Amino acid sequence: MNAMKIENLVRDYGGGKGVFDVSFHVDQGEAFGFLGPNGAGKTTTIRHLMGFLKPKSGSCTINGLDCWRERDKVQARLGYIPGEISFFEGISGAEFLKFIAQYRGIGSQTRKEDLLERFELDPKSKIKKMSKGMKQKLGIVAAFMHDPDILILDEPTSGLDPLMQNRFIDLVAEEKKQGKTILMSSHMFEEVERTCDRIGIIRTGRMVAVDAAAALRERHTRSYTVTLENESAAEAFAADFNGVRDGLKVTVTTKQSLEEIFMNYYGGEKHDEHGAV
């Protein structure tokens, strides 16, 4: 079943900016990586899913609920990390989490404590005195502490150091195992590769690829056939490059890494009909 569905979404900011006819879905229990260069339209799409923006045309639904018309119900069951975290700067992190817990109607402190420990965050200081990384951690704790079934994460690891990025990836992997549905925008190829089942790539407001991570890699393979001068050279070449030998001919197949695939999409190089670049 589709947990999230974006159909022909349009928001035109003028000057070619915005999102144009964006469609994709995220199945229940699936982790979907949403990738694209700066200004491609990731946050705009996500803000429609959160019900912060009304689609000019097209629609977004979460568990069958319209994200704009039924936004209160939609937001109540989500965990959300915004692209740019802006809190009430005058209060402490602890006060902020208490406020969120009350809003969400959370009684138990266990999960909150667990998350604070995991991300080594002391929430006592005032938010305005926190570093960017600390604020991001606070956003993560606030998004995950009510144990939501659906997580919408807009560049969740921005500002985190590599150790904390890894902890976050572990957290997402655990959530996925428990059957949570996750949409995660990111610029970090590794975190997407390690956590997501399917990947969508957006560029200048349009989806340019939506596919399973494995299928994307499969489509982006290159084969080279080389003819060697003699049998022993062919044998040695096949062994060195893991090639398939047919007499003096050796065929070597190389797969691109996800990072290479993304860079091709980001850079906008032309793709042939097989998706090879």
Ligand X SMILES: Nc1ncnc2c1ncn2[C@@H]1O[C@H](COP(=O)(O)OP(=O)(O)OP(=O)(O)O)[C@@H](O)[C@H]1O
Give the interface with ligand X as residue ranges (CB under 6 A): 13, 17-18, 36, 38-44, 83
Nearer to ligand X, 85 or 234 (CB): 85
Nearer to ligand X, 22 or 115 (CB): 22
- What is Dmax (Cα atoms) for the chain? 76
| Least Å from the CB of residue 167 to ligand X | 23
- Whether the CB-CB separation of 35 and 199 falls below 8 Å is answered with yes
Give one DSSP letter per residue of 110-153, joined into a string.
Answer: HHHHHHHHHTT--TTSBGGGS-HHHHHHHHHHHHHTT--SEEEE
| Least Å from the CB of residue 259 to ligand X | 17
Neighbours of 264 (CB within 10 A): 19
CA distance 74 to 72: 5
- Whether the CB-CB separation of 1 and 59 falls below 8 Å is answered with no
CA distance 258 to 197: 13
Nearer to ligand X, 154 or 175 (CB): 154
| Least Å from the CB of residue 140 to ligand X | 18
| Least Å from the CB of residue 83 to ligand X | 5
Nearer to ligand X, 47 or 71 (CB): 47
Nearer to ligand X, 48 or 220 (CB): 48
- Whether the CB-CB separation of 98 and 132 falls below 8 Å is answered with no
| Least Å from the CB of residue 172 to ligand X | 19
Residue with tokens 């390690």: 194
- Whether the CB-CB separation of 58 and 210 falls below 8 Å is answered with no
| Least Å from the CB of residue 98 to ligand X | 30
Nearer to ligand X, 75 or 204 (CB): 204
Nearer to ligand X, 13 or 224 (CB): 13
Name the nearest CA neighbour of 228 among 254, 253, 252, 247.
Answer: 247
| Least Å from the CB of residue 43 to ligand X | 3
CA distance 138 to 116: 8
